[in-house]
Homo-oligomer: A and B are copies of this chain.
């Protein structure tokens, strides 16, 4: 397909009518391809737009490129608001050399991660409520260090507790386009299992032993100003 044909097929105005002289779509595709290939980290749509010539239609170039790589050895994948090229998962067996030994996560860490992912934004107290046991500092630290979770906004409830959310790195690591694609999310929601039901009356829960957190939080006030 020629550039003109492609542009027509995409319902884009012909080049001449464009306000800026954007390169043809095929050229925009090449540019996006080069940038995504060059980066190990996902590249945001915003950054692609900033780096491509004025008037480029990055979203379209991305869709075209993704289609072009379907079934190939590498894939164009979406990671939240960003895009990346990754090897096809079925070829992992060829990559012993590139395989990164990841630290084995404790059961507590894995469960905490899942709770943050499915319940985000979630406070530490809520994680503890779900697991029925207090969350050790080390567990949270490990997940923060892996850059799989980060601090979200403070909850506007007494004590203004911090919340945790999952990161782009989390999505990238588990090959998720966005947090809504978590396996079984819809079913869990439909079953009411993601509801935050208050514990009735005198039921035993987790008594939060680390009160120092409250104090420590005080001087982290500017951490969440975005």
Contacts and interface: CB of A to CB of B under 8 A. Distances in A.
**How many copies of this chain does the complex contain?**
2
Contacts of A37: 37, 73-74, 85, 87
Contact of A51 (B32, B35, B71, B97): B97
A51 to B, nearest CB: 6
Interface in A21-38: 29-35, 37-38
Contact of A34 (B39, B71, B95): B95
A94 B33 contact: no
B39 A73 contact: no
Interface residues of A, number: 25
A97 B85 CA distance: 18
A34 B97 contact: no
A192 B168 CA distance: 56
A146 interface: no
A183 to B, nearest CB: 25
A21 to B, nearest CB: 16
The 9 closest A-B pairs by CB, nearest first: A33-B73, A30-B73, A34-B73, A34-B87, A34-B91, A37-B74, A38-B98, A38-B87, A51-B94
Given A30-B71, A35-B95, 8 more contacts: A29-B73, A33-B72, A33-B73, A34-B87, A34-B95, A35-B73, A35-B94, A38-B87
17 contacts: A30-B91, A31-B73, A32-B73, A33-B73, A34-B73, A34-B88, A34-B91, A34-B94, A34-B95, A37-B37, A37-B85, A37-B87, A38-B87, A38-B94, A38-B95, A39-B98, A40-B98
